[in-house]
Amino acid sequence: MLSKKTIEKLRDLQTPFYFYDLDVLGSTCETVRQGAEKSGYSVHYAVKANANPRILNIISSYGFGADCVTYNEIESAIKAGFSTSKIVFAGVGKTDKDIEAALRSGILCFNCESIEEIEVIDSIAARMCNIAPIALRINPYIEAHTHKYITTAMPESKFGINTWELEEVTDRLSSLKHLSLKGIHFHIGSQITKMSVFRSLCTRINELQDWFAARNANLEIINLGGGLGIDYTNPEKAPRFEDYFSLVNEFINLRPGQTIHIEPGRSLVGQCGTLISKVLFIKKGKNTTFAIIDAGMTDLIRPALYQARHKIENLTSKGSINHYDVVGPVCESADSFAKYIELPETKRGDIIAIRSAGAYGESMASRYNLRDLPRAVFSDEI
Ligand SMILES: *Cc1c(COP(=O)(O)O)cnc(C)c1O
């Protein structure tokens, strides 16, 4: 729960805005830092989850690296203090311009997703008289048991190199002189809450390691990607990092000289953020009552895009419980945060908190309807 004092301070600020609790962010980062250090993992924060400069700055202060999907993200990460030697560059559609800039800045690794991409990176590196460090993002065909829009490792997925192409890839690599194969990379989806999914991934990686070993490939980096889920029904609950670390330690077989890399996004920043909004109007529908708030899908698109459900609280009412559809002001029927949820009697001017909104919230905001972008307020500023 947000404290009474915090609520008192927040209610006077102009809504909507993201409120970031720096104690939560700090303790989450510390948990991951300690767990990773104990197990000898390298952590690369997935910048796309939240690229707010202050958040990036705090995360980089824990010594983590960054996982980026555009050169703009790489640039923001460098500005926020991430070391270029700890930055990896992922994505199915890297542009020539971004590849060139990333190569020039000296990043750790390009995580490559197709044969054509590998050839293009080689030719750009050749032109620049450089050697590009690469890892192969392999599609391991594992069902992530999460929403279909955030499942990335099925045969029909656009992500990763298919295992039936690996033979061709290793053949091609032997003749491409401006690439250096550093490792293999996986990312099987997001908001994964079933630990058995990560266990399947470890097993699959062990099999693939045998395949590469038989071809004398020297892999230093075994990158598991991100995907660890958070509990959206209980915003106070920390992600299951301990379970995750101990499972990976138990099931993955590393070879000498190999390091595990992980790329947490949501699990690092999800629970520290709350979208704070004000009720504009209460409106009676046919079978329902709408609470129309001043935050919409342009501020937080997850409910509209993934049918995601966030915990919603009325911070300023103690009235008797009623049912409400909590909706935004945007001209789209999908602009709805919750249907028929229980809230205390809600009226114009009440403050509504949408919890667990630190990941894929502010970073996915848009200006549709020419709405203002949401602001960010940090717990040490109020
Ligand atoms: C999005 C992404 C991540 C982060 O995923 P989370 O579910 O937020 O942890 C990590 N690696 C890659 C390649 C990604 O695309």
Q: Are residues 247 and 298 in the same domain?
A: no
Q: What's the confidence (pLDDT) of residue 151?
A: 74
Amino acid at site 345: E
Mean pLDDT, the chain, whole residue set: 96
Gap from CA of 225 to ligand 1 centroid (Å): 6
Q: What's the confidence (pLDDT) of residue 324?
A: 98
Gap from CA of 338 to ligand 1 centroid (Å): 26
Q: Are residues 231 and 319 in the same domain?
A: no
Q: Are residues 141 and 30 in the same domain?
A: yes
Domain final position from 235, 268, 301: 268
**Residues with a CB atom less than 6 Å from ligand 1:** 46, 48-49, 67, 90, 187, 190, 225-228, 263-267, 359
CA distance 266 to 377: 19
Q: Are residues 101 and 218 in the same domain?
A: yes
> Which one is predicted more confidently, 5 or 90?
90
Q: Which residues contact 314 (CB under 8 A, 6 or more apart)?
A: 343, 344, 346, 350, 351, 352, 353
pLDDT more than 90, % of the chain: 92
Gap from CA of 64 to ligand 1 centroid (Å): 15
Tokens matching residue 249: 């330690």
Gap from CA of 99 to ligand 1 centroid (Å): 20
Give whole-number Cα distances, 27 to 30, 58, 146, 317, in Å: 5, 11, 26, 30
Q: Are residues 370 and 290 in the same domain?
A: yes
Q: What's the confidence (pLDDT) of residue 144?
A: 78
pLDDT more than 70, % of the chain: 99
Res. 161: pLDDT tops 90? yes
Give whole-number Cα distances, 26 to 61, 71, 223, in Å: 10, 27, 24
Gap from CA of 164 to ligand 1 centroid (Å): 24
Q: Are residues 171 and 258 in the same domain?
A: yes
Q: What's the confidence (pLDDT) of residue 117?
A: 98
Confidence category of residue 147, pLDDT binned at 50, 70, 90: confident
CA distance 299 to 329: 11
HEC string of 190-240?
CCECCHHHHHHHHHHHHHHHHHHHHCCCCCCEEECCCCECCCCCCCCCCCC
Q: Whose CA is nearest to atom 10 of ligand 1?
A: 226
Per residue in 315-365, pLDDT tens?
A: 999 999 999 999 999 999 999 999 999 999 999 999 999 999 999 999 999
Phi and psi at 375, nearest 5°, equal: -85, 170
Q: CATH number for the domain including 118?
A: 3.20.20.10
Choose one of 193, 263, 267, 306 to mutate for the ligand 1 pocket test, by most ligand atoms within 8 angstroms of C-beta.
Answer: 263
Res. 169: pLDDT tops 80? yes
CA distance 315 to 333: 26
Q: Are residues 159 and 40 in the same domain?
A: yes
Q: What's the confidence (pLDDT) of residue 156?
A: 82
Q: Whose CA is nearest to atom 1 of ligand 1?
A: 46
Q: Which atom of ligand 1 is nearest to the CA of 228?
A: 9
Q: CATH number for the domain including 306?
A: 2.40.37.10
Q: What's the confidence (pLDDT) of residue 148?
A: 78
Gap from CA of 262 to ligand 1 centroid (Å): 9
Q: Are residues 261 and 353 in the same domain?
A: no
Confidence category of residue 155, pLDDT binned at 50, 70, 90: confident
Determine the average pLDDT of the residues in 212-239.
Answer: 97
Choose one of 29, 44, 48 to mutate for the ligand 1 pocket test, by most ligand atoms within 8 angstroms of C-beta.
Answer: 48
Residue with tokens 């995360």: 59
Q: Are residues 301 and 230 in the same domain?
A: no
Choose one of 159, 190, 224, 244 to mutate for the ligand 1 pocket test, by most ligand atoms within 8 angstroms of C-beta.
Answer: 190
> Which one is predicted more confidently, 284 or 156?
284
Domain count, the chain: 2
Gap from CA of 46 to ligand 1 centroid (Å): 6
DSSP type of residue 92: S
Confidence category of residue 153, pLDDT binned at 50, 70, 90: confident
- Range(s) of the domain holding residue 338: 4-18+271-381
Q: Which atom of ligand 1 is nearest to the CA of 185?
A: 13
Domain final position from 268, 293, 312: 268
Domain final position from 240, 268, 296: 268
Confidence category of residue 34, pLDDT binned at 50, 70, 90: very high
Q: Are residues 202 and 304 in the same domain?
A: no
CA distance 380 to 127: 48
Q: Are residues 189 and 335 in the same domain?
A: no
Res. 259: pLDDT tops 80? yes
Q: Are residues 173 and 240 in the same domain?
A: yes
Q: Which residues contact 120 (CB under 8 A, 6 or more apart)?
A: 96, 99
Choose one of 67, 94, 222 to mutate for the ligand 1 pocket test, by most ligand atoms within 8 angstroms of C-beta.
Answer: 67
Q: Which residues contact 71 (CB under 8 A, 6 or more apart)?
A: 89, 97, 98, 101, 102
Q: Which atom of ligand 1 is nearest to the CA of 192?
A: 7
Res. 150: pLDDT tops 80? no
Q: Whose CA is nearest to atom 11 of ligand 1?
A: 225
Res. 146: pLDDT tops 80? no
